[in-house]
Amino acid sequence: MLRPGRLDKLVHVGLPSADQRVSILQKQTRKTPLTDDVDLKAIAHHPLADGFSGADCAALVREATLCALREYKQKLLSSNSLQNRHSNNGVISDAAKMHSDAKINLTALAMQTPTSLSSVKVCPSHFERAFQLVRPSVSRLERKVYEKIRNSLRRE
């Protein structure tokens, strides 16, 4: 970040290194339930994480968590649909139709099944899906421009 201001100084804050991203991911996942096989170091060193800012790392964790919740919701809806079909001899009740609605709210889902929602955990496959959706907020070209500006300011 380059910011001239009242102090009449330009400050360049670079993007975090892979090791710094590990630390950021550790802080971001502190309250996120992860499976034992999630390796934050591997995620931080993943080629697609190259150029991630701290905010990008936070977005990755949020998206992986949403992937886990969507997966849980889908399993729950499938389970409810199967139960309703079985109990109604193939006739789907109004409640089953409501549950099968693709626009079901995750908050309403959590209120319906608060105890089972605590079993939702984020696993490596959720992070892989999140990498498909979250991209670095600063492009390679922009990074080169900022580095060029930083280097020219150092010389002055």
pLDDT digits (tens, 9 = 90+) for 36-70: 999 999 999 999 999 999 999 999 999 999 999 99
The predicted model gives 91-110 an average pLDDT of: 50
Asked if 46 and 132 count as a contact pair (C-beta separation under 8 A), the reply is no
The DSSP output letter for 137 is S
CATH number, residue 36: 1.10.8.60
Distance CA 71, CA 79 (A): 12
10 occurs within a structural domain: no
11 occurs within a structural domain: no
1 occurs within a structural domain: no
CA-only gyration radius of the chain, Å: 22
Q: Can you read off the two tokens belonging to residue 4?
A: 């001239």
Give residue 83's pLDDT band: very low, low, confident or very high (50, 70, 90): low
97 occurs within a structural domain: yes
Q: What is the pTM of this model?
A: 0.71
3 occurs within a structural domain: no
More confident residue, 137 or 77: 137
2 occurs within a structural domain: no
Distance CA 113, CA 81 (A): 16
More confident residue, 40 or 140: 40
Distance CA 78, CA 91 (A): 15
> Which residue range forms the structural domain that includes residue 77?
18-155
6 occurs within a structural domain: no
Give residue 99's pLDDT band: very low, low, confident or very high (50, 70, 90): very low
pLDDT of residue 129: 97
Q: How many domains are contained in the chain?
A: 1
12 occurs within a structural domain: no
